[in-house]
Amino acid sequence: MIAKVHRDLEVYQLAFDAAMQVFELSKRFPIEERYSLTDQIRRSSRSVCANLG
């Protein structure tokens, strides 16, 4: 199968799923980390998909 768009790539789909898991897990972080560590982790997990697109 040939990918017509980047969303068709298995690596993109896996990275997207991982980013969603990171987002859900980061909701459990302590409140004092909400705006520093949590934000950075969420942005870095989304950047994988952005760099594939």
Tens of pLDDT, residues 19-45 = 999 999 999 999 888 788 899 999 999
What integer pLDDT is reported at residue 52 of this predicted model? 82
Sign of CA dihedral 17, 15, 46, 44: positive
34/23 Cα distance (integer angstroms): 12
What integer pLDDT is reported at residue 32 of this predicted model? 87
What integer pLDDT is reported at residue 44 of this predicted model? 93
33/20 Cα distance (integer angstroms): 19
Closest CA to 41 of 19, 11, 12: 19
